[in-house]
Structure 1
């Protein structure tokens, strides 16, 4: 039942991508921060954060924001590689800022609360977004990148009014889940209906005739993802039947690993796996193995979930199978090797962020604990 949220979130993202929401979010972000040195790049990160709260998918975030933002940066005098590297990295926020398809998969694999995972992803997502913005500002000052003229209050309010229908979606999803109005799966269904309504009748960027194509595209993506998930679940079932997780748990406990040592090993394993496999498959195969060990060592399962998601973010921009690299290459026309080179410096920032998330659990757990989601 939990996995039913995936096709609905994918459909919601498809409506939002087709419906021109990304352009409105970018315009709003430009009006907010475009006047800062390197403002176009900072606004691209802000747009990725906002779109991440609508789509739940990193590649979708890169495709929607990157196709518009990178071209805008190049026209304003930014190096194309600079823009590509930023959007490729900022796009990973698609699976950290809720709603997140990868979080739904982790919740299904470990029987944890999707709502609690969503809330746990809010502060880390905002923190990573702000860290990227600060890093961009520092680099932009050194490179003497241009800034846009400051937007007037009227322009800011106009862009906010145009973007508000898209921004309301995250309020509906998170507000509805936290208030108990609906479950995460029901929230995904509501999001899909709302996104379709906004694209068709509010923004009017698409017609009824285009609906079958959107449904077909999201259906293809759902089938592909569900096929991967089904095979991964089958493999996980075999592991459980053979009691491999229990054996590994007993072995790790006997070794006397400290929690910090265990988490270091987890990060290394996930970073290697992330370079070669799809995030949902990794979660479904490794979560049932790592989960019981973490519980035995006193590590909060929700904290472990956020650690796994951040590792999956890094996997999306790590060759040879980093999906965000391929999407960025497709939307910019740059060779894959050039995209990898452009994304590499910003990857160092993500690795530093991973260490903070791993060893400062309060970053992930502060909001769920404050909301009393125990």
Structure 2
């Protein structure tokens, strides 16, 4: 049954069927051929994966992020990053990374971060003589920070699937996010120095103070979320509701650029994305039910441990697998499918599930800049007049950076669970 399940799934994926429908079709086909399970029980199995209170955080965090994006927070964050980073060599690429890290803490989405920051930074970088392929690569690679900097939608998903503290995942994501940001800036600086990309003019002190004051309200959102969770004021799910209310207040009464029409559009987009994610969770629950009933996770754990009992060796194998899956699965699908399969391996080796959660979030996020389905690449390319292949070539140094950091984190796991 497992062979039929995977064969049907991969055939459907490679002919272009959406992942959620491929999961559903492969699961139903396998169950109909090899079991006598009634269709009603299949539907109940789908629903059981959605009956989790913590999943309410997903639409609320999405709504809050889309609200802040609609309020053009990205413009203010770019201006703020320019105050501190713009004057250095290759300063605009440093600004793109810095503003992506800050915006990622608000949006929780790699694609939203890439689109919002890219729409501001790519034209600005072109005016300063940056090659558009290089600009798009910077924005696409930095956009991954939207999935790494807490609060992150994929961390919420992992926390639900693995049954671990979402708050611990959020706090444990801070250190790796800072390390990745520093690494990206290092690559940016090296490329800028080699190609002669200049920075921007220093911002006058009076204007810098005004920019900083104007950005404080936006910067407060992630601080309220994380501070509220760890002070015990509210749970991660409740923090998402607080973030949504805060986004409405800021957009309507502080920045005053939200309208009822824009809120309706944000609500519509939130419903569409949430429905996609929840349907994917439901169908993957049936898929993983089949894998569990056939003892696939246990067999995988036994096979890997039989190959080597070294956590480092096993994690390197898992890294290679995650990077491969990222080339054709989006991060949400990868988290939902891979987590229940690999958790028995993690537990048997004594690997901290908080470390593994942050690690898997970063690893599958790299798929956002790996062809052929790296969505960040497509978003950034569409903001330029360059070909997709040219942007992919300019992204190679960043792929090497992410891979090197993922290997580094395996040898220094405490950096990914320091708050866990």
- Please give the alpha-carbon distance, in whole angstroms, between the structure 2 residues aligned to 1:144 and 1:351: 26
Aligned-residue offset at 1:207? 1.4
Gapped runs of 5+ residues in structure 2?
Answer: 1-52
1:218 is matched with which residue? Answer: 270
Contact 1:173 1:187 survives alignment (8 Å): yes
Contact 1:37 1:145 in 2 (8 A): yes
Could you tell me how far 1:256 is from its partner in structure 2? 4.0
In the alignment, is the contact (CA less than 8 A) between 1:8 and 1:188 conserved in 2? Answer: yes
| Structure 2 partner of 1:292 | 344
User: Counterpart in 2 of 1:69?
Assistant: 121
Which residue does 2:66 correspond to in 1? Answer: 14
Alpha-carbon deviation of 1:210? 2.2
Take 2:283 and 2:153, find their aligned partners in 1: how far apart are those partners? 17
CA contact (8 A) 1:200 1:208 kept: no
- Kept in 2, the 8 Å contact 1:67–1:332? The answer is no
Tell me the distance in 1 between the aligned counterparts of 2:306 and 2:133. Answer: 49
State the distance in 2 between where 1:341 and 1:231 align.
36
Distance 2:194 2:129 in 1: 15
Change (3 A) 1:331 1:200: farther
Paired positions, count: 368
Helix, strand or coil for the counterpart of 1:331?
coil
Which whole-Å deviations, capped at 9, do the CAs of 1:190-212 have from their partners, x for residues lacking one? Answer: 11111122112210112123211
Matches within 5 A, 1:69-218: 69-218=121-270
Contact 2:187 2:397 in 1 (8 A): no
Which has the higher mean CA deviation after the structures are superposed, 184-193 or 206-215?
206-215
> In the TM superposition, what is the alpha-carbon distance from 1:17 to its structure 2 partner?
1.0
SS at match of 2:382: helix
- Cα distance in 1 for partners of 2:90, 2:304 equals 48
| 8 Å Cα contact 2:316-2:407 kept in structure 1 | no
What does the per-residue CA deviation read over 1:163-204, in whole Å, with 9 as the maximum and x for residues that have no partner?
A: 111100010111111111111111111111111221122101
Q: 1:256 to 1:32 in 2, by over 3 A?
A: closer
Q: What is the CA–CA distance in structure 2 between the aligned matches of 1:310 and 1:178, rounded to whole Å?
A: 23
Aligned-partner Cα distance in 2 for 1:100–1:56: 4
| SS of alignment partner, residue 98 of structure 1 | coil
Please give the root-mean-square deviation of Cα atoms over the aligned residues, in Å. Answer: 1.4
Q: Secondary structure at 2:417's aligned position in 1?
A: helix
Specify the alignment match of 2:319 in structure 1: 267
Counterpart among 109, 114, 122 of residue 57 in structure 1: 109
Moved more, 199-208 or 165-174: 199-208
Determine the structure 2 residue equivalent to 1:240: 292
Q: Matched residues in 1 for 2:278 and 2:392: separation?
A: 28
Indicate the structure (1 or 2) with the bigger Cα radius of gyration: 2
In structure 2, the residue matched to 1:329 is 381
Matches of 1:194 and 1:354 in 2, distance apart? 34
Q: CA deviation at 1:153?
A: 2.4
Q: Which runs of 4+ in 1 moved over 4 A?
A: none
Listed one character per residue, the Cα deviations across residues 105-132 of structure 1 (whole Å, up to 9, x for unaligned) are: 1111110110101111100001110111
Counterpart Cα distance in 1 of 2:375 and 2:96: 19
Q: Distance in 2 between matches of 1:22 and 1:281?
A: 28
Aligned to 1:341: 393
1:283 maps to 335
Q: Residues of 2 paired with 1:132 and 1:294: CA distance?
A: 29
Matched-pair contact (CA < 8 Å) for 2:108–2:149: yes
Q: CA deviation at 1:345?
A: 2.0
Unaligned runs of 5+ in 1: none
In structure 1, C-alpha distance between the alignment counterparts of 2:267 and 2:95, rounded to whole Å: 30
* Aligned twin of 2:279: 227
User: Is the 1:31–1:155 contact (alpha carbons within 8 Å) kept by the matching residues of 2?
Assistant: no
Structure 1 residue 32 displacement after superposition:
1.2
